[in-house]
Structure 1
Amino acid sequence: MISELLPNDVVCAKETRDLVIECCVEFIHLISSEANEICEQESKKTIAPEHIISALKRLGFDSFTREVEDVLKEHKQQQKDREKKVSKLEQSDLTPEQLQAMQEELFAQSRAKFQSNAGAPS
């Protein structure tokens, strides 16, 4: 990840990477601890995304909250999209056996096509 962010002509020493990793771990620990405290104050047992956002604000990282909220929205949308795919499968009214038979037929067709192409002259 560090290499992706740096220009191509800049290298990062292993000690520097290790230091960045340690800083990241410490940052996560700091945010988690603060979020846990907020969670306990609200008499909750599970740290929610809102607790993380509140922790960022409390600790003076307000500038991060917008990006965190955007990532959270994107994550929720991806979950909804995944659930839609599952429900489409459930709505297909096909049994698992029928679905497997269809899959095996598609594999057989693909194998046959591959074998016929493999025998064709180049």
Structure 2
Amino acid sequence: MTSPYLKVLYLETVVFQILPASSGQTFAKDARDLLIECCVEFITLISSEANDISEKEAKKTIACEHIEKALTDLGFGDYVPDVLAVAEEHKEQLKTREKKVNKMEQSGLTEEELLRQQQELFRSAGEKYNAGS
């Protein structure tokens, strides 16, 4: 599990993406902290409810349908279509990521060979850099 500090950093990143510096607006520190606390509380609430639902179904893994039911049961049913759309988008991104991994595997090189090639490229780049200095 990741540390709470990393979770807060991620939430801060999301806040700054929503309100970019170029907009000319800023969040007061206490307002940003409150928003982040609300996000953490919301995620905890949904996770806890989804966990309860999965346990009642004797499942060991929380699935998307458990999140969907948790949102509905807690009165956040209006969020379900957007959440499902984001989940679908995430699945598509994972497929792309898996293809990239397969390309590396299809290279036919072992991890050691790839590492050796990478080190050689770094050495070569360092030599070129030092020669230009």
Residue in structure 2 matched with residue 8 of structure 1 by the alignment = 24
Q: 1:47 aligns with which of 62, 68, 72?
A: 62
Which amino acid is 1:67 matched to? D
TM-score, normalised via structure 2 length:
0.69
Q: In 2, are the aligned partners of 1:34 and 1:55 still within 8 Å (CA)?
A: yes
Is residue 2:43 matched to residue 1:32? Answer: no
Please say if 1:77 is aligned against 2:109.
Answer: no
In structure 2, the residue matched to 1:86 is 101
Question: Whole-Å Cα distance in 2 between the matches of residues 21 and 54 of structure 1?
Answer: 24
Report % sequence identity: 51
How much has 1:3 moved relative to structure 2?
5.3
Residue 58 (1) aligns with residue 73 (2): yes
Unaligned runs of 5+ in 1: none
> Could you report, residue by residue, the CA deviation over 1:10-29 in whole angstroms, capped at 9, with x for unpaired residues?
54252x33433332233223
* 1:19 alignment partner in structure 2: 34
For the Cα contact (< 8 Å) 1:57–1:65, is it kept in 2? yes
One-letter amino acid matched to 2:24: N
Structure 1 residues 25 and 109: alpha-carbon distance in aligned structure 2, compared to 1, 3 A threshold: closer
User: CA separation in 2, counterparts of 1:19 and 1:33?
Assistant: 21
Deviations 1:5-52 (A, max 9, x none): 4553454252x3343333223322321232123213322122112211
Which residue is 2:127 aligned to?
112
Aligned to 1:103: 118
Q: Distance in 1 between matches of 2:16 and 2:98?
A: 35
What's the offset of the Cα at 1:59?
2.1
